[in-house]
Amino acid sequence: MIPIAPIFIKSKGILIELSQLLDEERSAYGEQNSENIIALAEKKQTLLDEMNELNEKRIKVLVKFDVVDRKNPTEEEFKSWLKLQDSSMDEVRLLMKECEALLKSCKTKNNTNAQILSTLQKRNKHLYELLQGHSTKNKVYTSRGSTRPISSKQTLGRA
């Protein structure tokens, strides 16, 4: 029997932790706590690195047992092989389905967080431009052909 179940168990644990981390990240965006956001991003990167290592380990095991092609291992090849196996691989099938569901959830949460971050960045940029007295609507061409905002004489710093 191929020792692949422990890899999926670890992957599931990491995905659960990543999902919780993404929830925390969303809350941190709401609180606008930059230190917390940076710390969460570092933790997220660590978890993603661990997932990559586990995926490489899984591929090595599958190649070692001739489950997938050595030169071009694919997920579909593994899934096809798994369907043909007897009930002794039911645990792996279940773990794989759970990991796929968790991964889909994490992707959705990550996309939501990316949209929130984008909105916050746009808002902050707009507020910064207001403080400087710039307007995104009033722009002039430079000697090089690019555009830059016109400075207003009524900046908050001069008021």
Q: The whole model's pTM is what?
A: 0.79
* 3-state SS record for the chain: CCCCHHHHHHHHHHHHHHHHHHHHHHHHHHHCCHHHHHHHHHHHHHHHHHHHHHHHHHHHHHHHCCCCCCCCCCHHHHHHHHHHCCHHHHHHHHHHHHHHHHHHHHHHHHHHHHHHHHHHHHHHHHHHHHHHCCCCCCEEECCCCCEEECCCCCCCCCC
3-50: pLDDT as tens digits: 899 999 999 999 999 999 999 999 999 898 889 999 999 999 999 999
Tens digits of per-residue pLDDT, 93-149? Answer: 999 999 999 999 999 999 999 999 999 889 888 888 778 766 656 666 677 777 665
Domains for the chain: give ranges and CATH numbers: 5-149 (1.20.58.300)
